[in-house]
Amino acid sequence: MSICSCQNKKFDKLREIIAEKKGTAGALIPVMHEAQELFGHLPIHVQSFIAEALEVPMADVYGVATFYSAFTLEAKGTYSIHVCLGTACYVKGAQAIVDKLAELLHIKVGETTEDGLFTLEATRCIGACGLAPVLTVNNEVYSQVSVEQIDGIVHKYMEMAWKDEEDGNSSTNS
């Protein structure tokens, strides 16, 4: 597998991060967080690099990556849509919201659209029970969401992506 120069720069930065943290207790998780910020996710070759550089078993890195929900092994879309399925949100119709998003985006929970624009995730309680049902798009919170609002929310982000594209900005993760 050939790695482009942008990937080489990311690995150079990861080497610096690891050199700074190596030998300190509990270095694995902070290194993994910074690696995910750099790469957008933790593919197996990045995990392997971390394991080798920190001199820890690959099984430990993979175990952490798959145990904690903060880590992802798959590339995420530019816009991550998280629908709360905690009790309050679920009772107020969150599953119908998930179903509508899946239908509209032509993806299942945990998947990313082919264009790399949206990732759909179902989450546990996000602590906004009084605002149920709740969904977030990246860091923007939508409260008391109805199925009827879903088209408008999704189209808002599509338009933002199109505008970025027209302005010459990339709307997908690299």
User: Does the annotation flag 6 for ligand binding?
Assistant: no
User: What tokens does 67 get?
Assistant: 């145990």
Query: Hey, what amino acid is at 24?
Result: T
User: What tokens does 47 get?
Assistant: 């995990």
User: What tokens does 11 get?
Assistant: 């690995």
The burial of 118, by beta-carbon neighbours within 10 Å (0-12 exposed, 13-18 middle, 19 or more buried), is given as: buried
Q: What angle do CA 48, 115, 67 make, to 5 degrees?
A: 35
User: What tokens does 51 get?
Assistant: 């394991």
SS3 141: strand
User: Does the annotation flag 129 for ligand binding?
Assistant: yes
d(CA 134, CA 146): 9
d(CA 80, CA 149): 17
Query: Hey, what amino acid is at 88?
Result: A
User: Does the annotation flag 84 for ligand binding?
Assistant: yes
Q: Which residue ranges are tagged as binding site for [2Fe-2S] cluster? A: 84, 89, 125, 129
Q: Which residue ranges are tagged as binding site? A: 84, 89, 125, 129
